[in-house]
Structure 1
Amino acid sequence: MKQEQQILQLLGLAVRARMLISGEELVVKDIRNNRAKLVIISTDASDNTMKKIQDKCNSYNVELHVFGDRSDLGHATGKAERVVLAINDHGFAKKLIELLNEFNRG
C-alpha cells in the first residue's frame, strides 16, 4: 500500500510541476512528439485504448506501465477520472519507473 501511495503522490507532484499530461489524445500527441518519457494507463482502460497506447509506446519506444484504476489516477492528478497519463520529465519518469517496478514485483 505504501508504494502505491508514493506513486500517487509523485503523480500529484508531477501535475503541480506541469510535467504530467492526461487524456488519450494529448498523450498520443506527446508520444508522437517524443515528449513522453513514461506513460501510465489505468487497469480499467478499454481494450481499444489499451491497444492504441501500447502500439504507440512500442513504435516510439516509450515505457508503459499499467497502474491504478481511472479514479485513482484522476484523484492523484486532482481531476476527474483519468485513464492515460504521460510524464514529460526525465527525473519524474525515472523515479516513477523505479517505484512502479518495485510495486509490480511486490
Structure 2
Amino acid sequence: MSPEEKKIYSLIGIATKSRNLVSGEFMTEKAIKEHKAALVIVAGDASDNTKKMFTNMCTYYNVPIYFFGVKDDLGHAMGKEFRASLAVFDKGLADAIEKQLNVMQDKVEGNAIDKRMGTGSMPVPSWEFPRNEGHGHYNGGSK
C-alpha cells in the first residue's frame, strides 16, 4: 500500500470518528440528495450498477466522485464490514482526501482511481484515467 493510500484510509477513519462521513448505498444517496456530501468515494470493486447510479447522481448534484480501493479496505478504514460507497460531509476533510487521490492519480497510471464531476458520463474501465483539463471535468478519456 502506497503512502498516499495509507493517508486516504487514515483520513477516512478520522472522518468516521468525527461523524463527518456516512457509508452504505442508502446513506450515501441520502447525503448526496440532501446536499450534505462534499465528496463521494465508491469502491473500485463495486457493481457496475452502483458505479453508474452514483456517477449519475453525483453529476446531477455536482458532487465530486472517485472510484478508489476495494470494499473490504474501505470498510476496514471505517471500523466496519465491507462498504461499497461513502460520502464525506466536512469540506476540509474532503479536500484533504481529494488532494491525496489526485497525487495518486498523477503518480500511478492505470490504478483504479477515477474522478468525475458534472459530466453525466458512464464509468470508464479502471485501467483508463480521465485526464482533468483544468476544470475537474471528465473530457471523454483523451490522454
> What is the correspondence of 1:1-106 to structure 2 with a 5 Å cutoff?
1-106=2-107
Q: What count of residue pairs does the alignment treat as equivalent?
A: 106
Matched to 2:37, the amino acid is A
Whole-angstrom CA distance in 1 between matches of 2:82 and 2:54: 17
Query: Displacement of 1:86 after TM fit?
Result: 0.3
Whole-angstrom CA distance in 1 between matches of 2:67 and 2:51: 9
Whole-angstrom CA distance in 2 between matches of 1:29 and 1:20: 12
Taking only aligned residues, the RMSD between alpha carbons, in angstroms, comes to 0.5
Bigger Rg over Cα:
2
Deviations 1:20-61 (A, max 9, x none): 100011111110010000000000000100000000000000
Structure 1 gaps of 5+ residues are none
Please report the TM-score for the alignment, with normalisation by the length of structure 1. 0.98
Deviations 1:60-106 (A, max 9, x none): 00000111000110110100000001000111001111011111111
Whole-angstrom CA distance in 2 between matches of 1:66 and 1:50: 8
Larger helix proportion, structure 1 or 2?
1
Matched to 1:65, the amino acid is Y
Whole-angstrom CA distance in 2 between matches of 1:15 and 1:92: 11
Q: Which runs of 4+ in 1 moved over 2 A?
A: none
Whole-angstrom CA distance in 1 between matches of 2:106 and 2:42: 18
Match of 2:122 in 1: none
Whole-angstrom CA distance in 1 between matches of 2:106 and 2:66: 13
| Identical amino acids, percent of aligned pairs | 42
